[in-house]
Chains A and B, each alone.
Chain A
Amino acid sequence: MFTLILQLALGIMAMSTFLYVIRVIKGPTVTDRVVALDAIGINLIAITALVSILLNTNAFLDIILLLGILAFIGTIAFSKFLEKGEIIENDRNR
């Protein structure tokens, strides 16, 4: 019963990821796509957690933490890029 619920939840998360991908593809502006990508990252966290419960292992807990950090860094990088056109600023006056 518990497994069934988990699988159902996984299915829903996968479906939601797919819908986000549609947003990534269609997204009229780049900002839409970046937000969708960020959400995909969060979805991945959920899926990873569900899978690790399903597989009855704690080997994937690192991934969850990493994903959290990376999704954050990635979104920040994109945002900075969209705002300034570059990620790492080159200080020419140094």
Chain B
Amino acid sequence: MQLLHFAILSPFLFALFIPILAKYAKRVHTGWFVLILPVLLFIYFLPMIRMTQSGETLRSVLEWIPSLGINFTVYIDGLGLLFALLITGIGSLVTLYSIFYLSKETEQLGPFYVYLLMFMGAMLGVVLVDNVMVLYMFWELTSLSSFLLIGYWYKREKSRYGAAKSLLITVSGGLCMLGGFILLYIITDSFSIREMIHQVQLIAGHDLFIPAMILILLGAFTKSAQFPFYIWLPDAMEAPTPVSAYLHSATMVKAGIYIIARFSPIFAFSAQWFWIVSLVGLITMVWSSFQAVKQTDLKSILAFSTVSQLGMIISMLGASAAALHYGHTEYYTVAAMAAIFHLINHATFKGSLFMAVGIIDHETGTRDIRKLGGLMAIMPITFTISLIGTFSMAGLPPFNGFLSKEMFFTSMLRVAHFDLFNVQTWGILFPVLAWVGSVFTFIYSMKLVFKTFKGNYQPEQLKKQAHEAPAGMLVAPVILAALVVSLFFFPNILSYSLIEPAMNSIYPTLLDGHEKFHVHISQWHGPTTELKMTAGIIVIGTLGYLAMNKWKGIYKLFPSKLALNRFYDKLLALMEKGSYRVTKQYMTGFLRDYLLYIFAGFIILMGGVMMIKGGFSFTTEGMADIGGYEMILTLVMISATAATVFARSRLTAIISLGVVGYTLALFFVIFRAPDLALTQLVIETISVALFLLCFYHLPKLRRKTKTRTFRLTNFIIALGVGIIVTLLGIASSSQRTKDSISSFFLKNSHDLGGGDNVVNVILVDFRGFDTMFEITVLAVAALGIYSMIKTKVKEEERSGE
């Protein structure tokens, strides 16, 4: 166990102490203790940039279950480090923010920070491990801790609904991903992602390639809230705002992006990967940016906006597949570069926006955009932060979102010129969709900032007197907003330190030898198509924003019945009702129905197997002669049995049953089994007496009430069972392959057992164990009857009878 393993597990270990701190150090806000850890981790990971920058990676194995090939292997390369820095960096800021957001008097801080640290550790595990099984473990831990965080205010019904929904969707996706990992293991015989990348040729040619790809993509799409699985994310906004800022904008939802980027070297060779990933990303982007304009809750706008931006990043990752076909030229790798760059940018501006919205909520008591307005003069710093964040989100200069949006357009425009994957006909769709999505992004960004801060101040609508947030709350969003601006002016501090190493991880096989990716981000490209597209967005977007009341009506054109949320709720209700109905259908509570299933199953399984395997056979070889009296006695038995079945009164049935038993004893006599005959006679007499004992308490036989179909079914089933058992008996006696072992008992009964009664010697000597347990059975039965009678009496006494 090295420091690296310890670093990943440290949040979990630290979480163990949080409840103690929360309980005994009440005077200090627990968050201050928690803050130490992500800052330390950030400082620990930061110097590793130098290592990844020079193209080196770090691998360290801690054996966990080596016999199954499951090891806690930490692997740090550009991509993993980038995510680790995001997680710890934004984690520190979010913790700082939460110290001022959550009150130590009214909130339960212990659970909150335990869940948050659990999440942080799980997320670090996801991005830094090399073994897919361990990755899956951390993946599920993120789902679980996210569930706990969303349901933090568990007394609210909406929180519980949102938490359950997110858990259901992300865990189903996670299970699909596990399936994908196992398929990859079947193909490559290794759990290590490194190993899989080395065997990419083998994977590409395998039959399981497509299923594995689709299953892993399902996991990534559900986690990253892609179409049509994005529905959990808007409902997850019931979580406290620091959680939304951390999980649902900067880290957890990017786990899917991480998976797509990480598995690109394995899958991106195929046309299916390109089409699925880029189209799902684009559709998500357009659809949810369109939906975001409609929302009136600030956090809902941000939730849909997150979904949209994630779609944008994923579509760029899909487009980056081209470089694997054309080789390493800047023309084709720009998509990957843009994806990574926008990933960082989105984390910064979305984090700051969530925090700003949290401040507005905290200081005014509402997040409803219709009640807010005119806050510009009251909350100038929050306004500035929001302005920077939204303008960056809309892709305006001088903010970092502008740069990545330009690069996004560049990559989409280049997709249109691909001549592989049959892109030609549909190629033009990519830039058009991207542009439409961006227009909507612009509109909701403007709506977000101007509807909140401009317009009329409505104090009567607000629960609290609005005022600027305390300084501590503003620190974290100010840092992020500063990053947003400075990344525009100095984007290249990222390009050598983070983007190039991360591209190395996406294209590990592309470079040979000492070649390096050359990433240079410049603010000014000249009057390119991309710039014209941005200008078009600003013009059309401004017009669209100003004339929003005019075209708002088109949202009514989409019936709410077709909404995916409705579909999800209906599906859940349907599943619940359906399974209830199915269970109700066969679980009738009547023993006779269950017996019917058992006997029908017996007939079908036994008869079917015997039929298929040709097990039925019949020979008369080795059979004894039948005497006349045996035939008559058989007739006696048959008629007595028939009398039992058809008896109209219970007494007749009991007597007939007695006849059957006695005749059976007689058969034992004829077939020379005196001990059996003795026992059978006594037992038959006792059981007939017992039947008579119960007789008085039993109801009358009711035959009239049973319908004809019921009786017919019973008849068929009884006939079937009888025939099958008879055939089985005949078949087993006509196919004896081995001699019986009875000759041993006959020969050795006297010498070894010391007795001449072979039956008794077998019972108490050769196979005494059986007898012992039969005695036990009898004892248990006797005790059971005794206690049943006794408890019944007691109950009667208690009820006063």
A→B interface (CB under 8 Å): 7, 10-11, 13-15, 17-18, 21-22, 24-25, 30, 33-34, 37, 40-41, 44, 47-48, 51-52, 55, 57, 59-60, 62-63, 66-67, 70, 73-74, 77-78, 81, 85-88
Among residues of B, the one whose C-beta sits closest to the C-beta of A78 is B692
Max count, chain A CB within 10 A of own CB: residue among B627, B651, B659: B659
Among residues of B, the one whose C-beta sits closest to the C-beta of A27 is B652
Looking at the complex, which one of A48, A66, A77 makes contact with B682 (CB distance below 8 Å)?
A66
Given A59-B674, A81-B695, residue A34 in contact with residue B655 (CB < 8 A): yes
Given A44-B662, A47-B666, A63-B678, residue A17 in contact with residue B633 (CB < 8 A): yes
CB 8 Å contact bits of B137-181 with A (1 = contact, 0 = none): 000000000000000000000000000000000000000000000
B666 touches A48 (CB 8 A): yes
Interface residues of B in 658-674 (CB under 8 A from A): 658-659, 662-663, 665-666, 669-670, 672, 674
Among residues of A, the one whose C-beta sits closest to the C-beta of B639 is A21
Among residues of A, the one whose C-beta sits closest to the C-beta of B646 is A25
A14 touches B669 (CB 8 A): no
Shortest CB distance A71–B (Å) = 9
Max count, chain A CB within 10 A of own CB: residue among B658, B663, B665, B669: B669
Among residues of B, the one whose C-beta sits closest to the C-beta of A62 is B678
A–B pairs, 9, beta carbons within 8 Å: A10-B627, A11-B628, A21-B636, A22-B639, A30-B655, A34-B655, A60-B677, A63-B665, A66-B678
Given A44-B662, A51-B669, residue A14 in contact with residue B692 (CB < 8 A): no
Looking at the complex, which one of B633, B639, B677, B696 makes contact with A86 (CB distance below 8 Å)?
B696
Shortest CB distance B583–A (Å) = 43
The answer to whether B718 has its CB under 8 Å from any CB of chain A is: no
The answer to whether B685 has its CB under 8 Å from any CB of chain A is: yes
How far, in whole Å, are A87 and B691 apart by their CA atoms in the complex? 11
B629 touches A70 (CB 8 A): no
How far, in whole Å, are A79 and B92 apart by their CA atoms in the complex? 93
B636 touches A67 (CB 8 A): no
Contacts of A30 in B (CB 8 A): 651-652, 655
Contacts of B677 in A (CB 8 A): 48, 60, 63
The answer to whether B377 has its CB under 8 Å from any CB of chain A is: no
How far, in whole Å, are A83 and B628 apart by their CA atoms in the complex? 40
B651 touches A24 (CB 8 A): no
Shortest CB distance B670–A (Å) = 6
Among residues of A, the one whose C-beta sits closest to the C-beta of B656 is A24
Looking at the complex, which one of A13, A55, A78, A86 makes contact with B693 (CB distance below 8 Å)?
A86
Shortest CB distance A12–B (Å) = 9
A14 touches B655 (CB 8 A): no
Contacts of B692 in A (CB 8 A): 77-78, 81, 87
How far, in whole Å, are A18 and B682 apart by their CA atoms in the complex? 22
Q: Which applies to chain A's interface (DSSP): helix, strand, loop or mixed?
A: helix
B693 touches A18 (CB 8 A): no
Looking at the complex, which one of B633, B652, B655, B669 makes contact with A63 (CB distance below 8 Å)?
B669
How far, in whole Å, are A69 and B674 apart by their CA atoms in the complex? 17
Looking at the complex, which one of A11, A25, A60, A81 makes contact with B639 (CB distance below 8 Å)?
A25
B652 touches A33 (CB 8 A): yes
Among residues of B, the one whose C-beta sits closest to the C-beta of A52 is B669
Given A18-B639, A70-B681, residue A47 in contact with residue B669 (CB < 8 A): yes
The answer to whether B635 has its CB under 8 Å from any CB of chain A is: yes
Shortest CB distance A66–B (Å) = 6
The answer to whether B689 has its CB under 8 Å from any CB of chain A is: yes
The answer to whether B640 has its CB under 8 Å from any CB of chain A is: yes
How far, in whole Å, are A74 and B689 apart by their CA atoms in the complex? 7
How far, in whole Å, are A34 and B652 apart by their CA atoms in the complex? 9
Contacts of B636 in A (CB 8 A): 14, 17-18, 21
CB 8 Å contact bits of B614-639 with A (1 = contact, 0 = none): 00000000000001110011011001
Max count, chain B CB within 10 A of own CB: residue among A18, A55, A85: A18
A10 touches B678 (CB 8 A): no
CB 8 Å contact bits of B691-732 with A (1 = contact, 0 = none): 011011000000000000000000000000000000000000
How far, in whole Å, are A70 and B678 apart by their CA atoms in the complex? 11
Max count, chain B CB within 10 A of own CB: residue among A18, A22, A63: A63
Shortest CB distance A9–B (Å) = 9
B632 touches A67 (CB 8 A): no
A25 touches B643 (CB 8 A): yes
- Among all A-B residue pairs, the 6 with the closest Cβ atoms: A14-B632, A14-B629, A10-B629, A59-B674, A25-B643, A70-B685
B669 touches A87 (CB 8 A): no
How far, in whole Å, are A33 and B677 apart by their CA atoms in the complex? 23
A15 touches B656 (CB 8 A): no
Among residues of A, the one whose C-beta sits closest to the C-beta of B633 is A14
Given A7-B629, A63-B674, residue A48 in contact with residue B669 (CB < 8 A): yes
Among residues of B, the one whose C-beta sits closest to the C-beta of A12 is B629
A74 touches B652 (CB 8 A): no
B689 touches A18 (CB 8 A): no
Contacts of A25 in B (CB 8 A): 639-640, 643, 652, 656
Shortest CB distance B698–A (Å) = 13
How far, in whole Å, are A47 and B632 apart by their CA atoms in the complex? 12
A74 touches B688 (CB 8 A): yes
Shortest CB distance A15–B (Å) = 6
Contacts of B639 in A (CB 8 A): 18, 21-22, 25
A74 touches B685 (CB 8 A): yes
Contacts of A13 in B (CB 8 A): 629
Among residues of A, the one whose C-beta sits closest to the C-beta of B670 is A51
Shortest CB distance B696–A (Å) = 6
Among residues of A, the one whose C-beta sits closest to the C-beta of B688 is A74
Shortest CB distance B614–A (Å) = 39
Shortest CB distance B686–A (Å) = 9
How far, in whole Å, are A17 and B667 apart by their CA atoms in the complex? 13
Shortest CB distance A68–B (Å) = 11
How far, in whole Å, are A21 and B639 apart by their CA atoms in the complex? 8
How far, in whole Å, are A63 and B643 apart by their CA atoms in the complex? 26
B693 touches A88 (CB 8 A): yes
B640 touches A44 (CB 8 A): no
Given A7-B627, A66-B678, residue A21 in contact with residue B640 (CB < 8 A): yes
Contacts of B635 in A (CB 8 A): 18
Looking at the complex, which one of B628, B659, B665, B682 makes contact with A21 (CB distance below 8 Å)?
B659
B693 touches A44 (CB 8 A): no
Besides the known contacts A60-B669, A81-B692, 14 further A-B residue pairs in the complex with CB atoms under 8 A apart: A7-B629, A11-B628, A14-B632, A17-B636, A24-B656, A25-B652, A47-B629, A66-B682, A67-B681, A73-B685, A74-B658, A77-B692, A86-B696, A87-B692
Shortest CB distance B403–A (Å) = 97
How far, in whole Å, are A14 and B663 apart by their CA atoms in the complex? 10
How far, in whole Å, are A40 and B691 apart by their CA atoms in the complex? 19
A24 touches B693 (CB 8 A): no
How far, in whole Å, are A61 and B696 apart by their CA atoms in the complex? 36
B662 touches A40 (CB 8 A): yes
How far, in whole Å, are A74 and B133 apart by their CA atoms in the complex? 72
B632 touches A11 (CB 8 A): yes
How far, in whole Å, are A59 and B633 apart by their CA atoms in the complex? 21
